[in-house]
């Protein structure tokens, strides 16, 4: 059984493993960087550290939306590097048993989702897409690497 942070994009629920999450923050101003993918919204300062922010709405091909008071930045880490994931809202932390996860459904997903989808969980009457945060971060890192300024 793993613990997952559940968040929303549009009307859908997604989750990532708690072990990858450093913090959940309110939306901070970002500084846009030239020559990066559109889903990289820029850099924010978090306790004196510059953190790139990836808008998961844009990463998954959804329409851009201005952040609301419910919007959050889920700060995750990979190899001690922090990245913020902008989401519509972060709702809760839940336990999901492995037997509630279907790993085969990732074959029907679109490209962006497919490259980031770990599996689909059905728990408490909800369907939750479980994301592989490392794949998202790898894509975000490639996008940030194009910054030449």
**What are the sequence ranges of the domains in the chain?**
2-145
Closest CA to 133 of 25, 12, 17: 17
Q: Is the pLDDT of residue 123 over 90?
A: no
The CATH superfamily label for domain 2-145 reads CheA-289, Domain 4 (2.40.50.180)
Look at 9-13, 26-30, 33-37 and tell me which has the smallest mean pLDDT.
33-37
What ranges in the chain are assigned the alpha helix state H? 56-59, 111-116, 133-145
Q: What is the mean pLDDT of residues 60-89?
A: 93
Closest CA to 21 of 99, 120, 93, 95: 93
Q: What is the mean pLDDT of the chain?
A: 85
Global confidence as pTM: 0.85
What distances in angstroms separate CA 146 from CA 35, 36, 47, 70, 85, one per listed residue?
6, 6, 25, 31, 19
For 106, the token pair is 């990732």
Give the SS3 label for residue 11: coil
């Amino acid at each position: 059984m793993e613990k997952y942070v559940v968040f929303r994009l549009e009307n859908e629920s997604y989750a990532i493993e708690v072990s990858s999450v450093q913090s959940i923050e309110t939306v901070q101003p970002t500084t846009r960087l030239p020559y990066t993918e559109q889903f990289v919204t820029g850099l924010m300062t978090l306790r004196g550290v510059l953190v790139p922010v990836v808008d998961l709405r844009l990463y998954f091909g959804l329409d851009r939306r201005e952040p609301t008071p419910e919007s959050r930045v889920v700060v995750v880490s990979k190899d001690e590097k922090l990245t913020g994931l902008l989401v519509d809202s972060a709702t809760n932390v839940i336990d999901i048993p492995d037997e509630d996860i279907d790993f085969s459904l990732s074959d029907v997903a679109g490209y962006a989702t497919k490259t980031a989808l770990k599996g689909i969980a059905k728990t408490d009457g909800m369907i939750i897409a479980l994301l592989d945060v490392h794949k998202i971060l790898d894509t975000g890192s490639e996008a940030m690497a194009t910054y030449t300024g």
